[in-house]
Each structure stands twice: as structure tokens, then as C-alpha cells.
Structure 1
Amino acid sequence: MDMQTSLLDRLFASGLLIETGVDGLYGRSGKFEDVIAAFERLIETFGGDDGAEAIRFPPGMNRAHFEGSGYMKSFPQLAGTVHSFCGCELDHMNLLQCMAEGEDWTKDQQATDIVLTPAACYPLYPTIAKRGPLPAGGGLFDLQSYCFRHEPSKDPARMQLFRMREYVRMGTPAEVQDFRQLWMERGQKLIETVGLPVHVDVANDPFFGRAGKMLANNQRDQNLKFELLIPVTSTANPTACLSFNYHQDHFGSTWGLKTADGGTAHTACVGFGLERIALALFAHHGLDTNDWPAPVRKALWGA
């Protein structure tokens, strides 16, 4: 039995995760949720005084905004769309007959105006662009959302539906790069506070296809993405639990985001994979939070 399956089976057996019959789609117990809530409070002790505007989007986003973001050019293999029945009574009868006969009843479903959110920050950029130019000093935003990526796996750290907490900075290149550097330092201290091993390395997104290899190489060569890696199901291939991303002017140009002086805004973000961090805590400290080291419990729950 490999480490991924072993950890997943133990999480199921303990009731921390709840099996649904679909790889990467799990229920969470109250104890699992308590760890995530505690960790989010810890995040806020590091970033809560920065004055970020809190915004919470649902796990679905405007399909037109999704298409405008360019996501499908780079990550079509990860995208998820929302389809619904839009037919008449006869179509409904045909649908029910297909289901009764074990045939594909989804073939006549039609795409809606909603797609599943791929990253917590994607709905933010068109929203802020509609407000007009950023104020002097730029903008800072606090986001949290369920996100979807179609990559079914037995690795519990690679869920298809998961939560991402993000701080997003908009402004001049210097402002957003200073923000990213600040959070690269904060992120390491934060993870050390809960007794987990820390390693930060340059990374790239999973761009699709042959052209994607060039994009990935460019991203790495320009140090646009760093990840904080923690062993969860493998010591040889640790899991990215935090990411620190500098988008340059990509979203600024895409959505017309402007700085106070009329320039194209640059953006950067720090993203926390909340389920992954919880899994790292369980993997390293055990499945019973009452037995976790006292300093870790104090950091998370104050006792």
C-alpha cells in the first residue's frame, strides 16, 4: 500500500474525511473543519492588520469572465463547467428513459452561464476593474472560496473541490513584488509556528500541451511562482501548500485594471491550500488533535 492510499484510508477510518465514491471528492468531519478554522485564524494573526478588503465569492463564477480570463488557453484539462437540463417535457421523458436504460443522460445537458471557480482570485479582477482606477497605494484583498480542478487522484492532498484562502495585491510592480516577498517570509514563519517542515522553491503552473512547456519554462526562468512545500504523502515529492505568485500585468491588461496614475496595474497573490495544510498537520502530528504537540495546539487554539 502506498503512502497516499495509506493516509487516505486512515483518514476515512478515523472519520476525518468521508468517502463519496469519487476520487478527490470528500466530506469533512467537524474535527477536520475545526483545524481549518483554527488555521485561518492563525493566517489572520499574520495578515489581519494589513487592512485587506474581505470579499467572499461563491464556488461558481460568471462564464463570460472565465472565458475572458484566458484560463482555457492554459489549463483546459482542469476546468469544470456547470450544465443543466433546458428541455421540454418530451426531452424530460427521453432523459428519464436514458437513465432507466443505463445510457448517457447527460448528452443533452446545456452549458449555463456559470463555471466552477478555478482559483479564489479569478472573480476578483473583473470586479475590481469595474470600480475604476485603484486608489493611491493600490489595493489589497482577502479572499476565500471553494475551487475546482478536474484531476481525480487517490492522493488526499489533490482534491477536486478544495478551499483556497488568498491575499491579492494590486498596484505598481514594486508594490506587488514587495507584497509577495513579505508573504514568502511570513509564510515560512507561519508554517514553522505549527511545527511543520518548510521548503520554498521556484515552481510553475501545470500549463497544457506542447506550448505549455514553454510557458512553464518562462514562468520558472522569471521566478514568477514560488511554492512552500511540505511532505504530506511523499517525502520525495512534497505537496505545495502555499503559493506566491507574481502575475506581472497579465490580469491588469486582461481586465483594464489601472493604478491611480492611469498605468496598467500589476498583481500578485499568496494562496493557502487549506485542506492541504490540514492534511499536513494530521500527517505530521497524528490524527487526534488532542495529542498534538503543546506549541502547535497553542498556536492554533491558544491552549
Structure 2
Amino acid sequence: MTGVRYRYERPVDAGAADELRKALAFHYGDVTVERLDKGVDVVVPAGPTERELGEMVRHFLRGHREVAATVITEHPGRPGLSCALPDDDRIAVARGAYLHGPEWTAAMDHVRRLCRERFAETFGAPLLAGSAQIARDVLVRAGYYQKFPNLVNAVARIRDRYWDGVTVSQLRPNQTEALDSFYAPADTVLTPVTCYHVYANAAELKDRYDTGLFAIDGPVFRHESHNHNATRLGEFRMFELVRMGSAEDVAYDYERILKAFTAFFAELDVPHRIVSASDAFFGDAPTMTREAQLLNKSKFEVRVPLGDGELSVASVNAHGEVFADAFGLRDLGTDATCCAGIGLDRLTYALLSYGLLGTSV
């Protein structure tokens, strides 16, 4: 691979190297991060200078130290399973977005039903349907822009008065500047995380349903630049369990949900492991945040082997006091929150890859 290269000459563990690769791939697409005896060799396509790439790598790895992952379970899957590209009748309509055919739609409906029956109904959680849009201010309060500045998909509107002598129908090739002048940012963005709907409306939800545990199913949008593919989507559906309450109650339900996930994926008979994980942060202190997640065991992912890698299909996340403070939830008796999410498209893809849909629980 040709491009811009930077060699970081300090020891880096495999987990941090992979997080670095994922973070850089958001911006530059085809990225290689090769671990060396001492350090990593990073190559990205043309774009940044060597100095700029070095600054990004050093920022991401500043203060790095090796933190061992915690594996809760490893499941080999049903005997005799083999993995292959699934029957996929989706048609790409944009980067990371697909038109679903009847076979894929039926498979998705089956997976969604499993999640609802196993989690929303079993846990007695009211089932909410999340909207595609959410107020921009919600993401600001949640700190999403600081943690994931590259992932937000904005919503624009036509300006109130755009009749400046050129209408859209009169635009000729290469007149994109005129077209852009018709639009202005709106106060809403496309939803990147469904649980934010629950936190932003917690007072009304708790008053209406008298509970701090909710299930929500809805569309999610994440702009990942060059990083989109058949499983890393710009538009997908997510099912989540969201818990708000005292620190003790949330800690108890975090463990309860983690046990339920362990049982659920074992019964699906798909090969997987559940392991502590961290997000590919690229904010103010990515190393500190990553290590805090791993040390506190505040994030676990369900990973299914596909090809020469793994596909994360679900996660369980403890947030501590972050969202309680960000959304003013303490007056509601909430000191902590946690959530557990299942990527419905990804789980569907994984089950189809192993030929398990129609024969699983």
C-alpha cells in the first residue's frame, strides 16, 4: 500500500492498535496499522502530511499502557457450522445505505422479533419506537460531538427565502455553489444512538410508565466516511434496553442484562465471544477513555467471527453518572444509567452467514 507512513516507536498492544486503525479509517478509508516488535507502522492513503499523521497517532496513543481484555464467554457455535457470504438481496443506494428486498426484510423481522420477545417482554420494559431525527442539542449535552466528531449526519433545510434569481430547476452542471446556497443547517440531526431519545425524554417517560427500564427500536445513522461496507452501515436499525436509576439498581441490572445477553447468544448457537471492549474515541483524551472502559469493565461486546476478523453485533455499556448529569436526571432519582444494544442488521448478517436463521431460537 502506498501513501503516507508514520512509525510510532513505543510498545502498543493489539487492542490499541486495532482501535487506532478503526479511528483513522473513519477519515482515510484503507488504513494499515502493523504491529512491530516495538511500536506500530501506520500507512494511510494520500491526505495528511507525515507530520500531521504523526500528530494524530501520538495523540491517540498518548499515555498508552497495555490493559488485558476480560473474556466472559467463548461459544464455538453449533457443531458442523460453516461460514460463508450470506444470501443478501440488499441493493446499495448510497454509501452504507441499502434498499432491502423481501428475503432480507423477512430475516430482519425475525431477528427483531427475537429481541423484542427475549428482552422487551421478558424484562417487562415498555417498547418505544425511536425517530430518525433528534435535536442537535441532545448530542451536544451528551458529549457526542467531543467523543465522535466524525460520525454525525446533519439535517439541512431550504432557506426561508431562497429566490435569488436562480431556481433549482435552472441549475446547470457545475453549479453546486448555487445549490448549496439554498440550504442552511437545521436544529435537528439524524439519530446516531437510540438511547438518547430515552434520556432526553426521561421525565415524561417515567411519569407515564412508572419505570426506569425501557426498550427502544429505531433507525440509526452514522457517517463513517470511507469506512462503510456491507456490515459497517451508514444507516441501520438498533434495538436497545436502557436503564436509569440509582447506582445500585443500575449496577444490578447491568449484570442482569449481561447474563441475559450471554444466554441469548448461546441459544442462538452462533459462534461468538463476549469480551470487554472500548470505543474508537478520537476526542480530547482517547487513551484515558479507552483504558477506563477496559479497567472498569464498563463495555462488553458480542463478537462473531467472520472471514479473517470479528463482527461486533451487540454491546452492553455502563455509563456511570455521565448521562444523569448531562440530562439533569438526578431530580428523577437517577444517579446512573446503562444500556445494551443489538445491531439488528449486523446480527441478521451474522446469522445468515452461518445459515442459522429459521433454525435458531
* Shorter-chain TM band: 0.7 to 0.9
1:248-259 correspondence to structure 2 within 5 Å: 248-258=320-330
Deviations along 1:19-72, one digit per CA (max 9) or x if unpaired, are 21x331111112112112112222233221321122212111012222222111
> How do 1:35-184 residues align onto structure 2 when only pairs under 5 Å count?
35-47=107-119, 48-91=121-164, 93=166, 95-104=168-177, 105-129=179-203, 139-152=212-225, 153=227, 155-184=229-258
Distance in structure 2 (CA, Å) of the matches to 1:242 and 1:15 = 21
SS in 1 for 2:223: coil
Partner of 1:90: helix, strand, or coil? coil
Compare the two structures and name the one with the higher helix fraction.
1
Aligned-pair distance for 1:144? 0.7
Structure-1 residue corresponding to 2:57 = none
Give the secondary structure class of the aligned counterpart of 1:50. Answer: coil
Do the aligned partners of residues 109 and 31 (structure 1) sit closer, same or farther apart at CA in structure 2, a change above 3 Å counting?
Answer: same
The equivalent residue for 2:312 is: 240
Corresponding residue for residue 199 of structure 1: 273
1:280 aligns with 350
2:338 corresponds to 1:268: yes
| Structure 1 counterpart of 2:232, one-letter code | R
CA deviation vs aligned residue, 1:144-168 (integer Å, no higher than 9, x gap):
1110111143531100001110010
2:315 maps to a residue whose letter is S
CA distance in 2: counterparts of 1:211 and 1:130, whole angstroms: 34
1:187-229: CA deviations, max 9, x gaps? 1222222221120111112212452232222222221111010
Assess if the C-alpha contact under 8 Å between 1:171 and 1:259 holds in 2: no
**Greater alpha carbon shift after TM alignment, 195-204 vs 208-217:** 208-217
Q: d(CA) in 1 for partners of 2:214 and 2:351?
A: 27
**For 1:149 and 1:98, how far apart are their aligned partners in 2?**
30
Note if 1:222 corresponds to 2:222: no
In structure 2, stretches of 5+ residues that fail to align are: 1-84
Letter of the 1:49 counterpart: T
Q: Which residue of 2 aligns with 1:297?
A: 358
Q: What letter is aligned with 2:149?
A: P
Range with bigger deviation, 162-171 or 31-40: 31-40
Q: Is the 8 A contact 1:133 1:258 kept in 2?
A: no
Number of residue pairs matched?
275
C-alpha separation in 2, matches of 1:89 and 1:167: 44
Conserved? CA contact 2:301–2:312, under 8 Å = yes
TM superposition shift of 1:280: 0.3
Cα deviation for residue 102 of structure 1 reads 4.8
Larger radius of gyration: 2
Q: What is aligned with 1:30? A: 102
Aligned CA distance change for structure 1 residues 53 and 96 (closer, same or farther; 3 Å): same
Q: 1:91 to 1:66 in 2, by over 3 A?
A: farther
Q: Normalization by structure 2: what TM-score?
A: 0.69
Aligned Cα root-mean-square deviation (Å): 2.6
Structure 1: which 5+ residue stretches go unaligned? Answer: 1-9, 286-291
Matched-pair identity in %: 26
Q: Aligned partner of 2:268: which letter?
A: V
Q: Distance in 2 between matches of 1:18 and 1:195?
A: 28
